[in-house]
Structure 1
Amino acid sequence: MSVTDLPILGLLRTRMQWHQTRQKLLSENVANADLPGFKPRDLANPELGRAKSRGAGFGTVALAQPEGASGAGLAVTSPAHITIAQAGEGPGADARRIKGFEVRPSGNGVNLEEEMMKSGDNQADYQLATSLYQKSLETLKIAIGKR
Structure 2
Amino acid sequence: MAVTDLPLLAMLRSRMQWQQARQTLIAENVANADMPGFRPRDLTALRFDPATGKPAASGTLALTQAGHMAPAGAAGPGADPRKTKSFEVRPSGNAVNLEEEMMKAGDNQSDYQLAASMYQKSLDTLKIAIGKR
Coarse TM-score class (shorter-chain normalised): 0.7 to 0.9
- Give TM-score scaled by structure 2 length: 0.77
Residue-by-residue CA offset, 1:12-45 (whole Å, 9 max, x unaligned): 0000000000001001100100000000000000
Partner of 2:131: 145
Residue-by-residue CA offset, 1:59-94 (whole Å, 9 max, x unaligned): 334212124xxxxxxxxxxxxxxxxxxxxxxxxxxx
In structure 2, relative to structure 1, the CA distance for the partners of 1:52 and 1:4 (3 Å cut) is closer
Partner of 1:71: none
% identical aligned pairs: 67
- Paired residues of 1:45 and 1:61 also in contact (CA < 8 A): no
Partner of 2:10: 10
1:64 aligns with 2:70: no
CA distance in 1, matches of 2:98, 2:78: 27
Where in structure 1 do 4 or more consecutive aligned residues deviate above 4 Å? none
- Unaligned runs of 5+ residues in structure 1 are 68-97
CA distance in 1, matches of 2:3, 2:114: 21
- Give TM-score scaled by structure 1 length: 0.70
What secondary structure, in the 3-state scheme, does the structure 2 residue paired with 1:64 have? strand
Larger Rg: 1
Letter in 2 for 1:25: L
- Paired residues of 1:4 and 1:10 also in contact (CA < 8 A): yes
Residue-by-residue CA offset, 1:74-126 (whole Å, 9 max, x unaligned): xxxxxxxxxxxxxxxxxxxxxxxx3xx21000000000000000000000000
1:24 aligns with 2:28: no
Partner of 2:111: 125
- Unaligned runs of 5+ residues in structure 2 are 49-54, 63-76
Aligned residues: 112
CA distance in 2, matches of 1:117, 1:60: 21
CA distance in 1, matches of 2:127, 2:19: 26
What RMSD, in angstroms, separates the aligned Cα atoms of the two structures?
A: 2.0
1:111 aligns with 2:100: no
